[in-house]
Amino acid sequence: MDNESGDDAVWQTAIDWLMREHEETLSDADREALNAWLADSSQHRRVFHEAEQLWLLTGMIPRSDERN
């Protein structure tokens, strides 16, 4: 069974969370929603981590010492 569209949806959700997290301060409710999404599946955690690493490598997310 091909689950490519499911994988695409997980990647898109991970990217959406990353963009929101790095463009604005997440509200407590948003932070809880992100944490719930990450806790829901090991795939969610893996894809979010991979997407974050990709952004770091491409320079799209400033290093933690460059933030603030």
Query: What is the pTM assigned to this prediction?
Result: 0.74
pLDDT of residue 5: 53
Confidence of residue 3 (pLDDT cuts 50, 70, 90): very low
Contacts of 49 (CB under 8 A, 6+ apart): none
Average pLDDT over residues 48-61: 84
Q: Is 48 exposed, middle or buried (0-12, 13-18, 19+ CB in 10 A)?
A: buried
Segments in 1-68 forming alpha helices (H): 4-23, 28-40, 42-58
pLDDT of residue 65: 55
List pLDDT tens digits, range 13-53. Answer: 999 999 898 888 899 999 999 999 999 999 999 999 999 99
